[in-house]
Structure 1
Amino acid sequence: MENSFSRRSFMSALSVTAAAGLAGCTQISRNIPVIDMTGGPAPVAPPSNNGAAMGPYASMYAAVEDEGYSIPAVPFQKIDPKYYRQLVQDPTGEMPGTVVVDTANRFLYLVMQDGQALRYGVGIGRAGFSWSGRAVIQWKRKWPRWTPPDEMVGRQPELEKYSARNGGMAPGLNNPLGARALYIFKDGVDTLYRIHGNPEWWSIGKAVSSGCVRMVNQDVMDLYDRVPNKTPVLVM
């Protein structure tokens, strides 16, 4: 992964970040395990038989009440541990406060200060529906309505009842956008791609969506609270 990105000077990046006032995005939760990636294989969580060590993950992915909705716990033991939310050495070289989606490895990084990044596992778009480039998170929504684009409705006519013409799908646990959605714009134009929650935890690490970047609800809620509107995004 180190060789997938061109590294930049962190001193320069940190000075830009200070000027941009992004420090509020770089606070680290005590519940995020610190993993050392230096010179070793891809980091993994402690073995599942170590109950004390797995405690932070059980807390991260526990059931939660939010905005009147009861989000079920994620059976994280059934997910490849490399996709757990964790703090790693930043492999991207991007400016702190940037969100980087590594589609090849199914990771989303929030670049932090001091050469670190908060890494989440994601599901990505199927071949032919993926998007890449630089953009920004134009805005964010809690428990958003889902309105499939006309192109999707054309491929799947049964979704017409959820089209913008019909008001979209109401928020809820079965809504494809989940608990949170971050809307990606490029040059002021909606790309129609989102970073969003999803109840289908088994899709993390896979290419299954129609182009959007999906996360388990607990992870997208964590990311939502860390990034402001206009956050830069790089999708590789």
Structure 2
Amino acid sequence: MFTTEIDSYRLSRRGFLNAAALGAASIAVSACTTTAGRPVEPPPPANVEPPLMDYATMYGPVSDNGFELPGIPYEKIDEQFLRQIVPDPTGQAPGTIVVDTAGHHLYFVRPGGQAIRYGVGLGRAGFEWSGDAVVQWKQKWPKWTPPAEMIARQPEYAKYSAENGGMPGGLTNPLGARALYLFEGNEDTLYRLHGSPEWFSIGKSVSSGCVRLINQDIIDLYDRVPNKTPVIVTSGVGQELVATADRKAIPIDAGVPEGSILLGPARAISEPIF
């Protein structure tokens, strides 16, 4: 009986010591894992695109693929034609390009009811067009090849014919720093969204039909849009699209990529206006 009590006492004491040791170990482990007293790190900042209002940076000199684009005197351009984020007036799905020929604006629709708006130069009377297309392919510093009909009227451009390899990309090339080639189905419309060294033509209707942007703006747009981007060209934002009879006229500033199919007779003009 006495032995049993001693054994019981030893077991109880051993259990107490073991429990105390386990408790101490638990406290030690808790001390290693506790976050008490540790500074709380702030959440990472949201990935928000900054407003496009730094015109000096946007339109400053650019080194691009071996070419040195000069800065643009943006102070001489009406501010409505400078690149900026605006409420989307088009009602189109994000990722759509909408060209408003009445306002001389191009909108790239973004999520959240916003759009990036660019000023554009457009076709003069007799060369306007409306409709929809897709960006079939894109080109940096594209080659320009005048149509045969243009060369027939102005032989001085024969040196840039398809047989002679066209005009290489460069600072004086009519297609500028970038070109987005617009197709309907598998057919080349021969219309382009392209750059232009003639920044003073933005906001005016002086070209032969293509949509021209400041070179710095077409570089920005090129980097934002993938192939197959839908493009809508309309005579007014929100108005019903109406195809025009002049849609198939060949714009002389389009160039003729190898393998293109001409969609109609060229419209004669007295002088090239790219």
* TM-score bin, normalised by smaller chain: 0.7 to 0.9
Q: 1:29 to 1:66 in 2, by over 3 A?
A: farther
Who is 1:178 aligned against? 176
Give the Cα–Cα distance (whole angstroms) in 2 for the partners of residues 86 and 28 of structure 1.
15
Q: Which residue of 166, 169, 181 maps to 2:164?
A: 166
Contact (CA 8 Å) 2:129, 2:233: kept in 1 or not?
yes
Give the Cα–Cα distance (whole angstroms) in 2 for the partners of residues 205 and 157 of structure 1.
30
Q: TM-score, normalised by structure 1?
A: 0.76
Give the Cα–Cα distance (whole angstroms) in 1 for the partners of residues 193 and 48 of structure 2.
21
Give the 5 Å matches for 1:46-195.
56-195=54-193
Give the Cα–Cα distance (whole angstroms) in 2 for the partners of residues 153 and 129 of structure 1.
19
SS of residue in 2 equivalent to 1:218: helix
Q: Which residue of 38, 43, 52 maps to 1:32?
A: 52
Who is 2:212 aligned against? 214
Deviation at 1:127, TM superposition (A): 1.4
Give the Cα–Cα distance (whole angstroms) in 2 for the partners of residues 166 and 121 of structure 1.
34
What's the % identity of the aligned pairs? 64
Who is 2:202 aligned against? 204
SS of residue in 1 equivalent to 2:90: coil
Deviation at 1:186, TM superposition (A): 0.9
Q: 1:151 to 1:186 in 2, by over 3 A?
A: farther
The gaps in structure 1 that reach 5 residues or longer are 1-26, 34-55
SS of residue in 2 equivalent to 1:74: coil
The gaps in structure 2 that reach 5 residues or longer are 1-46, 235-274
Deviation at 1:167, TM superposition (A): 1.0
Deviation readout 1:154-174 (Å, 9 max, x if unpaired): 443322221222211011100
Give the Cα–Cα distance (whole angstroms) in 1 for the partners of residues 156 and 76 of structure 2.
32
Deviation at 1:97, TM superposition (A): 0.4
Give the Cα–Cα distance (whole angstroms) in 2 for the partners of residues 116 and 156 of structure 1.
44
Q: TM-score, normalised by structure 2?
A: 0.66
Contact (CA 8 Å) 1:31, 1:60: kept in 2 or not?
no
User: Structure 2: which amino acid aligns with 1:115?
Assistant: G
Give the Cα–Cα distance (whole angstroms) in 1 for the partners of residues 166 and 149 of structure 2.
15
Contact (CA 8 Å) 1:149, 1:192: kept in 2 or not?
no
The runs of at least 4 consecutive aligned structure 1 residues that moved more than 4 Å come to none
Deviation at 1:199, TM superposition (A): 0.7
Contact (CA 8 Å) 1:126, 1:208: kept in 2 or not?
yes
Deviation at 1:31, TM superposition (A): 4.8
Count of aligned positions: 188
Q: 1:130 to 1:150 in 2, by over 3 A?
A: farther
Deviation readout 1:25-81 (Å, 9 max, x if unpaired): xx9742514xxxxxxxxxxxxxxxxxxxxxx11110000100010000000000001
User: Structure 2: which amino acid aligns with 1:88?
Assistant: V
Give the Cα–Cα distance (whole angstroms) in 2 for the partners of residues 224 and 129 of structure 1.
24
Give the Cα–Cα distance (whole angstroms) in 2 for the partners of residues 152 and 28 of structure 1.
47
Contact (CA 8 Å) 1:98, 1:111: kept in 2 or not?
yes
Give the Cα–Cα distance (whole angstroms) in 2 for the partners of residues 225 and 218 of structure 1.
11
CA RMSD of aligned residues (A): 1.4
Q: 1:230 to 1:206 in 2, by over 3 A?
A: same
Who is 2:44 aligned against? none
Contact (CA 8 Å) 1:124, 1:211: kept in 2 or not?
yes
User: Structure 2: which amino acid aligns with 1:32?
Assistant: L
